[in-house]
A = this chain, B = another copy of it.
Amino acid sequence: MPISEIDKLIQLLSKLPGLGPRSGRRAALALMKRRDALLLPLIDALERVADTVRACSTCGNLDDADPCAICRDPRRDPASICVVADVADLWALERANAFKGRYHVLGGVLSALDGVGPEQLSIAPLLRRVEAGEVKEVILALGATVDGQTTGHYLTDRLHDFDVAISRLAHGVPVGGELDYLDDGTLIQALKARQKV
């Protein structure tokens, strides 16, 4: 029978993305059964992360040092900034090993519905970074959603007066994707942006 302390743990675990009340219970049981192999190491890891991890004051990445490892890395081109909505997007690009410049995490996208305006996002710090002069290229790596594209247009406007090249990610057929399963919007974009072979 779940009781107070265990219940509290289950409630918190259930709030994690991908978990619900049922999987929260399973996770709590797994932790209690594997005290030395899982429960105690997890407490330790969470405490270290809570103690050390902060948002980078330059780019907004999460790291245990400020500036973060990417902003500190001299091999990464400071002239090229890739703008992403979220730290998860930055991680995805890093996993793909796709980019050798630096990043800027907006902390979301503009959304009239959710009441997210330019002040709620890290846009002023981005403009200051560009204004400082070292940046020559800004890549807008935002989702191909209405809000992502709106945010991209807004940033393009704001960056217009600076001497930087602005680009956005290509739209088209995802690698491994079958035409049959793609939506009309993607097919239209892929056709429009067709490339000579």
Could you tell me which residues of chain A, from 172 to 190, have a CB within 8 Å of some CB in chain B? none
Query: Given A1-B69, A18-B26, A64-B5, is A43 in contact with B46 using a C-beta cutoff of 8 Å?
Result: yes
Q: In this complex, what residue of B is CB-closest to A63?
A: B3
Does chain B have a CB within 8 A of A127? no
Contact with B along A41-54 (1 / 0, CB 8 A): 11101111110110
Interface extent on A, as a size class?
Answer: 35 or more
Query: Considering the chains assembled together, what is the distance between the CA atoms of A87 and B91 in angstroms?
Result: 38
B27 touches A12 (CB 8 A): no
A191 at the interface (CB under 8 A from B): no
Query: Is B69 in contact with A25, judged by CB distance below 8 angstroms?
Result: no
A173–B15 Cα distance when bound, in Å, is 34
Closest to A41 in B: B12
Complex formed: what's the CA distance from A16 to B30 in Å? 7
Asked whether A151 is an interface residue with its Cβ less than 8 Å from the other chain, the reply is no
Chain B CB within 8 A of A193 CB:
no
Whether, in the assembled complex, A62 has its beta carbon less than 8 Å from a beta carbon of chain B, the answer is: yes
Interface residues of A in 13-32 (CB under 8 A from B): 13, 15-19, 23, 25-32
A5 contact set on B, CB distance < 8 A: 45, 48-49, 52-53, 64
Pairwise interchain contact B23-A38, C-beta atoms closer than 8 A? no
Q: How far is the CA of A96 from the CA of B10 in the complex (A)?
A: 18
Contact A31 B3 (CB under 8 A): no
Query: CA–CA, A27 to B16, complex, Å?
Result: 6
